[in-house]
Amino acid sequence: MLAHAGAARVAHNWALARVKAVLDQRAAERSYGLAEEALTPVVGWSLPALRKAWNAVKGEVAPWWRECSKEAFNTGLDALARGLKNWADSRNGRRAGRRVGFPRFKSKHRCAPSVRFTTGAIRIEADRKHVVLPRLGRLKLHESARKLARRVEAGTARIMSATVRRDGGRWFVAFTVDIDLGVRCPARTDTIVGVDVGIRHLAVLSTGEPVPNPRHLDTAEVRLRALSRAMSRKEGPDRKAGEAASKRWRRAAGRLRRAHARVANLRRDGLHKLTTRLAREHATIVVEDLHVAGMLKNRRLARHIADAGFGELRRQLTYKTVWNGGLLVVADRWYPSSKTCSGCGAVKTKLTLRERTYHCTTCGLTLDRDVNAARNLAALATCVTGQQTAGSGSVAGRGAIPKTHPRGQEAVKRQPGPARLAGKTGTVLPQGRTAT
């Protein structure tokens, strides 16, 4: 498996060096004043073009190519083709979101070994304790694959591909499966729940239920520090001098790597259980569009925010609500859910993080700050529950005014008005303005 992962890395690095050399040469020729017609011809970076170029030179670049499956080299070339496409689309404005950087060379010291199989013999053995993969043959599983095997035998699932990856010192195989889910509906077809995520509690529901934050990273902090100190006392690698690490350093690094992997697995398991319960029970779920990347710039709260996994929670709810026939409503990023009174609708001008209890000076309502925010999120979905039955949408509530205009100008305060749902891919702005 390491050999196949290394083959994918070799193909990726060779193709990236070829593309980068041509781009650098064309940039240098432009600096000399050459016309576009006289520049070095461009090379294609689509997957078929990269695969054709690799097959022409694989005998010289990798004389051992027959020892590995062709899917190993295809894995590296496919990753590079998608990376180059994302980079080009981001530069040309065809890709939304943050700017995508140019692909970088892969190193066996920093990249997780992985290989993806899309063709050939990919199946689960009858004992459900073994899988068969191309060229790797019959591999024993630590866990039983009976759930997937039952679906495959019943004809409700079809294996599309298998990805083998090493994580935390262990090898995992992940199957991409085409499954017939059928028609599903939540257990409570008429309920709306608002989910307010935080640090003190991982989530607070509009029903008043607080979901405790397990703080897995804080719990394992003492052990992680001890393992880090133990590894620092060993003879590590010196790449400048070309000296390899000692065996004791490698064993210490393995223990530290497994400890970090355990924290990540515990966090992932808790988020999956929470999101699955919410998607199966409630018909409509309302969450906030948090700017997690900006929140991580707070040096006092960055570690706790990253440990909670706000972005992962929303990502899981996005597809699980579709699977279970529910609706996910994403409130506008500037909707003041914490500052708004859930009783009378009055909005406070300022509300510090230290104020954990919300006191309304208009109607006298007093309740927990997070419960108040969750109730406001639940009330925000009442205007869209009758327009969609499944999927997800974004709404901007009353008083959702961004600080700056999208074009960089100062924002003009808008008059409050009813919010409408634009659709699954739209973001509804006040006064009916829609941005897709």
Do the beta carbons of residue 174 and residue 161 sit within 8 Å?
A: no
- pLDDT at residue 363, rounded to an integer: 87
Which residue out of 71, 196, 307, 332 is catalytically annotated? 196
β-bridge mates for residue 111, sequence order: none
Q: Active site includes 243?
A: no
Q: Rounded to whole angstroms, how far apart are CA atoms 375 and 332?
A: 15
- pLDDT at residue 258, rounded to an integer: 93
Q: Name the DSSP letter for residue 38.
A: G
Q: Active site includes 180?
A: no
Q: Name the DSSP letter for residue 75.
A: H
β-bridge mates for residue 140, sequence order: 130
The torsion angle over the Cα atoms of residues 400, 406, 410 and 414, rounded to 10 degrees, is -30
Which of these, 426, 371, 377, lies nearest to 397 by C-alpha position? 377
- pLDDT at residue 105, rounded to an integer: 96
DSSP code string of 67-108: GS-HHHHHHHHHHHHHHHHHHHHHHHT-S-SSPPPPP----T
Q: Which segments in the chain show pLDDT lower than 70? A: 383-436
Which amino acid appears at position 327 of this protein?
Answer: L
- In this structure, is the dihedral angle defined by the CA atoms of residues 32, 34, 36 and 42, taken in order, positive or negative? negative
Q: Active site includes 127?
A: no
Q: Rounded to whole angstroms, how far apart are CA atoms 344 and 131?
A: 60
Phi-psi region of 374 (alpha: psi -120 to 50; beta: other; left: phi over 0): alpha
Do the beta carbons of residue 117 and residue 69 sit within 8 Å?
A: yes
4 token code pair: 């196949």
pTM score: 0.80
Q: For the segment 260-315, what is each residue's pLDDT rounded down to a tens digit?
A: 999 999 999 999 999 999 999 999 999 999 888 889 998 889 999 999 999 999 99
Tell me whether residue 155 is exposed, middle or buried, using C-beta atoms within 10 angstroms of its C-beta: 0 to 12, 13 to 18, 19 or more.
exposed
Distant-in-sequence, close-in-space partners of 294: CB < 8 Å, separation ≥ 6: none
383 token code pair: 């205007």
Which residue out of 71, 78, 332, 370 is catalytically annotated? 370
β-bridge mates for residue 347, sequence order: 340
Which residue out of 71, 288, 307, 332 is catalytically annotated? 288
Distant-in-sequence, close-in-space partners of 17: CB < 8 Å, separation ≥ 6: 105
Q: Name the DSSP letter for residue 111.
A: S
- pLDDT at residue 391, rounded to an integer: 46
Distance of CA 392 to the CA centre of its chain: 17
Domain boundaries, the chain: 2-92, 118-179, 189-215+274-435
- pLDDT at residue 406, rounded to an integer: 38
